[in-house]
Amino acid sequence: MKGVGIVIDNTSQQIESLGTGVSMRWVWSGYENTGKIDDKYNVRNNTLYEEFNNTVQNYVLNLIFKKMK
């Protein structure tokens, strides 16, 4: 995992030198190896996706709520 963010505006826009994207509020960035996840969802190489793995969901939620304290 390289980052956790919350979409704050879903309007597509050109972002300088990156291409098209949406506005984000980044909660965490870095690198965290959550281990090999063997499930039916082949989306983890995508930039933005919905996470269905409970272990990763809990990790992300802990990062978000730890930052909100």
Pairing of strands 3-15, 19-29: antiparallel
Instruction: Write down the pLDDT at residue 67.
Output: 67
Max Cα–Cα distance, the chain, nearest Å: 36
Instruction: Write down the pLDDT at residue 47.
Output: 65
Please give the residue that has the higher pLDDT: either 6 or 42.
6
Is the pLDDT at 69 greater than 60, yes or no? Answer: no
* pLDDT tens string 9-61: 888 888 788 788 888 888 888 888 877 777 777 776 666 677 788 888 898 88
Asked if residue 37 lies in contact with residue 54, where contact means CB atoms within 8 angstroms, the answer is no
Instruction: Write down the pLDDT at residue 48.
Output: 66
Transcribe 1-58 into DSSP letters.
--EEEEEEEEEEEEETTTEEEEEEEEEEES--------SS---TTSSS-----HHHHH
